[in-house]
């Protein structure tokens, strides 16, 4: 666990202990009400909600009516495993986006492995300003002195190497970038964009709301992939970069938004 210390250090430690105890209570019982947790810790219900919201944003608990429960079994793979999935497709997408982005641009880059590949493709560029909640993205640019990097503060998801939750939303809201680049957990057949945790959706939507041009980046495997949290629509994005033709079962989206779709062929984007 990584913490950012300030003059409230003792309080941060207490909150961390409460988080651990809340997780134990919910894992033992399967559910805990906000009222019960407030009574147990002798604090206000508002304090409990603040603590459990942090746990829910990290995917450790799930909000339900009146309290919290264990999260639904999550089909998403660990980040390290996802990095190795479809690497050629992600490299093609990364290079196509790099060809699209001009030198001197300000970029918001979100969480996920495909945005990380985009960052790697852009890592040698000049005079970029990078605004991100993804530590892998930050590290991709870290050796380039011509790039300015601003990273979100907050609680790190160590296995995903990113920061989500209210702090990430507020962070992106403090800026206005030329281009926002973000991935997605899945794309439903009605065009809905899906992710695995509410905090991921909130961070992605904050990027889209605070950039002038939004780029969704996803390889073809994301079409029809099952994820549980809905947020945004395919048509909300200014451009979509992918590695191959849209699957036939999603032809209705391809036809409706044809001018926004860029298919990366040998690293070059073709509309």
DSSP state of 190: T
Write down how long the chain is: 271
- Are 203 and 169 contacting, i.e. CB atoms less than 8 angstroms apart? yes
pLDDT tens digits in sequence order for the chain, 271 residues long:
333 333 334 434 445 788 888 988 887 777 889 999 999 999 999 999 999 988 888 778 888 888 888 776 555 555 565 655 678 999 999 999 999 999 999 999 999 999 999 999 999 999 999 999 999 999 999 999 999 999 999 888 888 889 998 889 999 999 999 999 999 999 999 999 999 888 899 999 999 999 999 999 999 989 998 888 999 999 999 999 999 999 999 999 999 999 999 999 766 676 6
Write down the pLDDT at residue 13. Answer: 43
Write down the pLDDT at residue 83. Answer: 57
Residues 6+ apart with CB under 8 A from 222: 184, 185, 186, 187
Write down the pLDDT at residue 78. Answer: 58
Write down the pLDDT at residue 60. Answer: 82
- Are 19 and 61 contacting, i.e. CB atoms less than 8 angstroms apart? no
Write down the pLDDT at residue 8. Answer: 37
DSSP string, 50-108: HHHHHHHHTTSSEEETTEEEPPPPP-PPPHHHHHTSSHHHHHHHHHHHHHHSPTT-EEE
Write down the pLDDT at residue 66. Answer: 82
Give the strand pairing for 229-233 and 31-33: unpaired
Task: Report the SS3 class of residue 163.
Answer: strand
Write down the pLDDT at residue 166. Answer: 87
- Are 184 and 216 contacting, i.e. CB atoms less than 8 angstroms apart? yes
Nearest alpha carbon to residue 111 among 39, 27, 26, 197: 197
CA–CA distance, 126 with 145 (Å, rounded to integer): 9
CA–CA distance, 167 with 174 (Å, rounded to integer): 11
DSSP state of 223: B
Write down the pLDDT at residue 42. Answer: 92
The CA R_g of the chain, rounded to the nearest whole Å, is: 20
> b/e map of 190-206 (b: 16 or more CB within 10 Å)?
ebebbbbbbbbbbbbbb
Nearest alpha carbon to residue 56 among 255, 196, 183: 196
Give tens-digit pLDDT for 190-202: 999 999 888 899 9
Write down the pLDDT at residue 155. Answer: 81
């Amino acid at each position: 666990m990584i913490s950012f210390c300030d003059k409230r250090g003792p309080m941060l430690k207490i909150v961390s202990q409460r988080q651990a105890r809340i997780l134990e209570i919910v894992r033992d019982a399967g559910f805990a009400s906000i009222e019960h947790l407030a009574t147990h810790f002798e604090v206000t219900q508002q304090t409990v909600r603040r603590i459990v919201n942090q746990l829910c944003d990290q995917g450790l608990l799930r909000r339900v009516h009146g309290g919290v429960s264990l999260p639904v079994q999550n089909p998403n793979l660990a980040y390290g495993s996802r990095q190795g999935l479809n690497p050629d497709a992600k490299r093609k997408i990364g290079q196509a986006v790099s060809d699209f982005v001009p030198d001197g641009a300000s970029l918001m880059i979100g969480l996920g492995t495909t945005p990380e590949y985009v960052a790697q493709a852009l890592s040698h560029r000049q005079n970029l300003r990078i605004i991100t909640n993804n530590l892998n993205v930050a590290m991709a640019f870290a050796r380039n002195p011509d790039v300015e990097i601003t990273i979100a503060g907050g609680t790190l998801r160590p296995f995903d190497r990113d920061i989500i939750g209210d702090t990430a939303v507020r962070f992106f809201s403090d800026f206005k970038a030329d281009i926002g680049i973000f991935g997605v957990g899945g794309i439903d057949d009605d065009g809905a964009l899906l992710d695995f945790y509410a905090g991921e959706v909130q961070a992605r939507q904050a990027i889209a709301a605070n950039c002038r041009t939004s780029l969704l980046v996803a390889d073809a495997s994301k079409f029809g992939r099952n994820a549980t949290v809905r947020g945004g629509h395919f048509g909300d994005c200014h451009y979509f970069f992918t590695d191959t033709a849209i699957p036939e079962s999603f032809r209705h989206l391809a036809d409706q938004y044809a001018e926004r779709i860029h298919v990366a062929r040998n690293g070059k984007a073709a509309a």
